[in-house]
């Protein structure tokens, strides 16, 4: 049996008729950028998150950049993000001319460790970008408390956390502004690129509306520096269909995580993901840890089981970020994590039999 790391064809097949109808609706209307589909999607998405406003943008990377621009971060500023995240988090920081400062992570949750934020904060720190990595929210209560004490802005990177919560508060509603990605493999994925900026703050909302649309306050009135970064009508129509199913798909991921736990909880040397009390993990990725990760990955590959590593390198070791800053104590936890983490197959259409087969193979590997 071949078990893919992910299979988007299953995702498409489950919703095919609804998707076809949504696409046809847009084609029949003949209107493709900043129209009724985008507005309708933004409205329901804002409601799901629990914020006043949402603005569809071209992709998640742009979403972070646009949110940073709206916050007024720019050249000369330092912006803190975790060392273990997707490169776009920090690329967006560099895109506005700011310097990324890489914070270390919590060894249990893999998200930014608030206890070590002080190693990153200087008088130049303008914004902190916590990342809700793998579908688990970062420790927002603590991060927001520290940020407030230092008068630093906070922007949530929710690219991997559509519908994740802390004490019922949805990711994207905890800080004043947040960015989402709808990259096809995300829990809410478009069939192309897409992203969104969510905010509860009306001043930030007014800025984001302009920045994503060429800095325009009205047609041909360019008031501020902007990007051409708008969620198109086709993707917005598709995302409306998919948003209706987000909750059941997140639950399906949680169920698969439960199956993995049953299979794997007593495997020696294997560490399973944690879900702290009050947190709702939505398992964008199911990431385990093993001291012989490379051998385990090769063993699974030989048995037709797809896995991946998110991510193989802390960002402070990537060439493009060589001019950036790192926490004064370094990033020993992230440095160690990248050598031992392994992402197992995880998507709503994964069958119980497939999870069982993956679990069995891991048990065999562990002897």
Ligand X SMILES: Cc1ncc(COP(=O)(O)O)c(C=O)c1O
Residues that bind ligand X (CB under 6 A): 59-61, 85-86, 88-89, 131, 157, 159-160, 181, 183, 193, 195
Give whichever of 41 and 365 is closer to ligand X, judged by the CB atom.
41
Shortest distance (Å) from residue 85 CB to ligand X? 5
Give whichever of 63 and 348 is closer to ligand X, judged by the CB atom.
63
The two structure tokens encoding residue 4? 């893919």
Give whichever of 234 and 264 is closer to ligand X, judged by the CB atom.
234
* CB neighbourhood size of 268 (10 A): 7
The two structure tokens encoding residue 242? 């998919």
Shortest distance (Å) from residue 313 CB to ligand X? 15
Distance (Å, whole) CA 133 – CA 314 = 13
| The CA-based dihedral angle spanning residues 359, 360, 363, 367, taken in that order and rounded to the nearest 10 degrees | -170
CA distances from 123 to 34, 102, 160 (A): 39, 16, 30
Shortest distance (Å) from residue 89 CB to ligand X? 5
Shortest distance (Å) from residue 64 CB to ligand X? 6
The two structure tokens encoding residue 130? 């916590």
Give whichever of 181 and 250 is closer to ligand X, judged by the CB atom.
181
With contact defined as beta carbons under 8 Å apart, do 274 and 283 qualify? no
Shortest distance (Å) from residue 61 CB to ligand X? 3
Instruction: Please name every residue paired with 181 in a beta bridge, in sequence order, or none if there are none.
Output: 195
Shortest distance (Å) from residue 213 CB to ligand X? 18
Give whichever of 243 and 270 is closer to ligand X, judged by the CB atom.
243
Give whichever of 181 and 340 is closer to ligand X, judged by the CB atom.
181
Shortest distance (Å) from residue 153 CB to ligand X? 17
Give whichever of 171 and 355 is closer to ligand X, judged by the CB atom.
171
CA distances from 12 to 190, 234, 285, 349, 352 (A): 10, 15, 19, 10, 19
Q: Within 13 A of 279's CA, how many CA atoms are on the CB side?
A: 20
With contact defined as beta carbons under 8 Å apart, do 237 and 25 qualify? yes
The two structure tokens encoding residue 51? 């914020």
Residue at shortest CB range from ligand X: 60
């Amino acid at each position: 049996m071949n078990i893919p790391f992910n299979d988007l064809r299953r995702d498409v097949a489950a919703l095919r008729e609804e998707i076809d109808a949504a696409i046809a609706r847009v084609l029949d209307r003949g209107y493709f950028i900043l129209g009724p589909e985008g507005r309708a999607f933004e409205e329901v998405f804002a409601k799901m998150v629990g914020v006043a406003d949402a603005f569809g943008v071209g992709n998640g990377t742009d979403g972070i950049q646009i949110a940073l621009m709206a916050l007024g971060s720019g050249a000369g500023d330092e912006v803190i993000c975790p060392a273990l995240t997707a490169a776009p988090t920090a690329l967006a920081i560099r895109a506005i001319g700011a310097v990324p400062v890489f914070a270390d992570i919590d060894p249990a949750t893999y998200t930014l460790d608030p206890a070590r934020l002080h190693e990153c904060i200087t008088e130049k720190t303008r914004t902190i970008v916590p990342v809700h990595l793998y579908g688990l929210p970062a420790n927002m209560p603590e991060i927001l408390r520290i940020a407030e004490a230092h008068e630093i802005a906070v922007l949530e990177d929710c690219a991997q956390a559509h519908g994740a919560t802390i004490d019922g508060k949805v990711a994207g509603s905890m800080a004043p502004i947040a960015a989402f990605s709808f990259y096809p493999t995300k829990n809410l994925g478009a069939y192309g690129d897409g992203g969104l900026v969510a905010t509860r703050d009306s001043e930030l909302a007014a800025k984001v509306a302009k920045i994503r649309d060429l800095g325009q306050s009205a047609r041909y009135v360019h008031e501020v520096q902007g990007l051409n970064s708008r969620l198109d009508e086709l993707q917005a129509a598709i995302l409306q269909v998919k948003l209706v199913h987000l909750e059941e798909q997140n639950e399906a991921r949680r169920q698969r995580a439960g199956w993995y736990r049953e299979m794997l909880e007593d495997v020696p040397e294997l560490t399973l993901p944690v879900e702290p009390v009050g947190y709702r993990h939505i398992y964008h990725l199911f990431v385990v840890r093993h001291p012989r990760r490379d051998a385990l990955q090769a063993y699974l590959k030989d048995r037709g089981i797809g896995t991946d590593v998110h991510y193989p390198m802390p960002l402070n070791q990537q060439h493009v970020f060589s001019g950036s800053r790192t926490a004064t104590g370094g990033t020993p936890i992230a440095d160690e994590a990248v050598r031992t983490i392994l992402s197992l197959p995880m998507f709503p259409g994964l069958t119980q039999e497939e999870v069982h087969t993956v679990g069995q193979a891991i048990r065999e590997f562990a002897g």
